[in-house]
Structure 1
Amino acid sequence: MTHCNGTVHVMSDSLGETAEQVVKAVASQFNSGNAAINRHPYITDQLGVEEVIKEAVKDNAMVAYTFVSPQLREFSEALCKQMQLPYVDILGPVMEQFEKITSIKPKLEPGIYRKLDEEYFRRIEAIEFAVKYDDGKDPRGILRADVVLLGVSRTSKTPLSMYLAHKQIKAANVPLVPEIKPPKELYEINPKKIIGLTISPSQLNEIRRERLLALGLGDHSSYASMERILSELDYAENIMKDLSCPVLEVTNKAVEETAGKLLEIIKEENGND
């Protein structure tokens, strides 16, 4: 085996960041840790491996790789041994042990960790968005949202926004109140991005009465009166007609059921764009 001069060629069928970080972490334990690292991403066949190993031979370098493909790992190992190059298979041994202890076959999909990581951060971003633009706090969110939910108070706007956020959808919600003019931003976006929520007067009456009792306010407030409720629903219906947006009935529906309908509408509209 030749003596490595401190140069390391790292190969991967994805970006190769994992291999590079491992090599840097190890190199830092030796003197200044100034290893010359040449990263070779998206290698998906034996020809790509051969080209990198030829370079490594010229540089008298070490080879490190993070292939999820067993075939590429085996080929790299065999070729490095043949060329008497020092090498490290970073993922292989760990994957083999995981397979043994779980009895589950790996997906063998390059870059899957990065995809999961990106999905996580998109979900967090959508949750933060839903909180920031909940209940019409800032109408600027209407312009940035993937979907905007409209409805009178207690039509499940907030829980639906959070449910959509967990699906990585940025949802803003706006309460419709007769005494407050709707935000002008509602008329500046595609009405297909707006979804109105409506509910039967009797169920809304029941929900609002329970809400008032929970707050210790009694159930005789105008907030829960049938006259007020009918006025609000009529006002909301006119706004939704004016916007020409789709409307969903939420009466006697669980959040998950309404969210399923919302997702169907969003998928359909995205497909028509």
Structure 2
Amino acid sequence: MVFIVSDSVGETAEAVVKAVASQFEGRTVEIRKFPYIEDEETIKDVVLAAKESRAIIALTLVVPKLRDFLYKLAKERGVTVIDIMSPMIAAMEQLVGKRSLNQPGLVRQLDEEYFKKVEAIEFAVKYDDGRDPRGLLRADVVLVGVSRTSKTPLSMYLANRRYKVANVPLVPEVDPPEELYQIPKKKVIGLTISPDQLNMIRRERLKALGLTSQANYASLERIMQELEFAEKVMKKVGCPTINVTNKAVEEIASLILDLTGGKEQTEAQ
């Protein structure tokens, strides 16, 4: 029997024990987990139970005080202890020249941050370009603006920082979804741009698609019509606006977070 003792979930030790047990064909190893160990009294109980069950202890305690206490007690009781993480931690400290945080549960925190990012990215893809107005009610940020004002790149950039972003294109021929007027104003950001730069961007876009740059999509007349319509919608919503002319995505994203009251969520180190 193997007792797994951890100040977190114990998944690391369990994976190692199962991998080792698989090397002994025809033998099964019973595993008992003791997660979230935070005090010496619990350690006393575990060590006593291990002695009575003739079990070995596989531990992933990163708090030195608890780890040392368990070692001392196990030695006194004649219980075998296998420390799974400490040798690697010591080697890593020498490699990076920095002390370990000795803080339990960090792997799980990283996992949670990763899944939040994935969820935000999936959200941005699902509710890109006004595909489903229902997403506006669930979004942290809603971006509105005419075509080619960086709505999609901004949605993905903010999603990588775990913000759920939806965006809505503003086109004179299509009424904005009613949901746009139902969400708090501070969640909505209007994106504006100079007509000349939008004209240049759209002409380049048409070239990339193999189409003539003289199409109505890139004409200044059409652009002015769209920008005037977008301005009216933004005023009706009552949302703040950002002029994205000659601005990088990173700069615009920072302004968006300032206006919505969000905070930059940097990657876990």
TM-score, structure 1 as length reference: 0.88
CA positional deviation for 1:80:
0.9
Q: Any idea what the Cα deviations from partners look like across 1:26-60, whole Å, max 9, x if unmatched? A: 33444555433322222233333223212222333
Matching residue within 24, 32, 41 for 1:47: 41
1:171 aligned partner, one-letter code:
V
Matching residue within 206, 209, 222 for 1:212: 206
2:132 counterpart residue number? 138
1:261 counterpart residue number? 255
1:30-45 superposed matches below 5 A: 30=24, 34-45=28-39
1:63 aligns to 2:57 (yes or no): yes
CA positional deviation for 1:233:
1.0
Q: Is the 8 A contact 1:24 1:33 kept in 2?
A: no
SS at match of 1:228: helix
Q: Any idea what the Cα deviations from partners look like across 1:191-221, whole Å, max 9, x if unmatched? A: 3222111112222222222222333323222
2:39 aligned partner, one-letter code:
D
1:183 counterpart residue number? 177
Matching residue within 217, 234, 238 for 1:240: 234
1:114 aligned partner, one-letter code:
R
Give unpaired runs (5+ residues) of structure 1: 1-5
SS at match of 1:73: helix
1:25 aligns to 2:24 (yes or no): no
2:267 counterpart residue number? none
2:72 aligned partner, one-letter code:
A
2:122 counterpart residue number? 128
Q: Is the 8 A contact 1:18 1:66 kept in 2?
A: yes
1:104 aligns to 2:98 (yes or no): yes
- Structure 2 distance, partners of 1:39, 1:151, is 54
Q: Any idea what the Cα deviations from partners look like across 1:50-83, whole Å, max 9, x if unmatched? A: 2321222233322121011233222222221111
1:227 aligned partner, one-letter code:
E
Matching residue within 163, 167, 171 for 2:161: 167
CA positional deviation for 1:247:
1.6
Q: Any idea what the Cα deviations from partners look like across 1:205-255, whole Å, max 9, x if unmatched? A: 222222223333232222222221111111111111111222222122111
- Structure 1 distance, partners of 2:91, 2:209, is 55
SS at match of 2:217: helix
Q: Is the 8 A contact 1:73 1:92 kept in 2?
A: no
- Structure 1 distance, partners of 2:206, 2:25, is 69
Distance 1:252 1:193, change over 3 A: same
Coordinate RMSD, CA, aligned: 2.0
2:96 aligned partner, one-letter code:
T
1:3 counterpart residue number? none
1:158 aligns to 2:152 (yes or no): yes
Matching residue within 222, 235, 238 for 1:228: 222
- Structure 1 distance, partners of 2:30, 2:23, is 15
2:184 aligned partner, one-letter code:
N
Give unpaired runs (5+ residues) of structure 2: 264-269
1:250 aligns to 2:239 (yes or no): no
1:13 counterpart residue number? 7
- Structure 2 distance, partners of 1:14, 1:217, is 58
Distance 1:268 1:116, change over 3 A: closer
- Structure 2 distance, partners of 1:244, 1:32, is 71
SS at match of 1:207: helix
